Amino acid sequence: MQILKEEVRANILKAALLEFKQVGYSNASIRRIAMAAGVTSGNIYRYYKNKEQLFDAIVLPVHNQYIDSLEEIRRKVQLSYARGATSAPDFFSRIERAFIELFKTYSSEFTILLNRSEGTKYEGVKPELEDLVSSLLERVLAKPVGDEVSPSAENRAVAGMLASTIVEGICVIFRDNEEGETLKFLIDQYLSVYSKGIAGLIHSDKENRSGCCENNH
């Protein structure tokens, strides 16, 4: 019996999603995808021009919405910054909302976009996100007085580190959880930890550096 076209397309997409999620773009095998989809490898090319476009089919929608979200965050932060209000929780909640939204619609696809796109045109996506978060954090870490001094090298390093780890952490949480209440709760807790932790950092920073951990290496 011949399977209907759209069912086959769905099978291919499902198999490809799994394969890309498991081994990433460059290690993904068209043959394996075909077998998992119950299809011959040649037939995949009736549905997608090549490996790249098969990847696109999975990742492009998220990427588009993701680009939009980033732009929106940038705009809103610019606004609140103009109004003088730039608190850490503000930033985090904004980012959180955008990401939760994205993840609600495309959980696996988003994970693939962020973590499995090595060797594709999307490999720069995560670094860009980190850069955005980093530049936001530089403001947060700067002295609360509205001075115009450029951030210290130290602050820049910390901001970069925090940005990378926050983003990576979000990716990890997304990777490990299906969309649902638990996910939202975890993201919430996660950002709460960072929010409080960074607040503490700023505070202790005013007195002396590394004031909390007693470890003397």
d(CA 50, CA 28): 12
d(CA 132, CA 139): 11
Q: Which of the choices DNA, a copy of itself, none does residue 28 contact, using the CB cut-off of 5 to 8 A by kind?
A: DNA
Stretch that binds a copy of itself, among 28-36, 106-114, 142-150, 169-177 (CB under 8 A): 169-177
151 in contact with a copy of itself (CB under 8 A): no
d(CA 204, CA 214): 14
Place of tokens 């530089």: 138
Stretch that binds a copy of itself, among 5-13, 28-36, 105-113, 205-213 (CB under 8 A): 205-213
User: What residue spans of 28-152 are helical by DSSP H?
Assistant: 30-37, 41-47, 51-82, 88-105, 107-115, 125-141
CB hemisphere CA count around 138 (13 angstroms): 16
Cβ-based nearer residue to a copy of itself, 10 or 157: 157
Write down the least CB distance from residue 127 to DNA, Å: 24
One of 21, 56, 70, 119 touching a copy of itself (CB under 8 A): 119
Write down the least CB distance from residue 3 to DNA, Å: 4
One of 32, 80, 164, 179 touching a copy of itself (CB under 8 A): 164
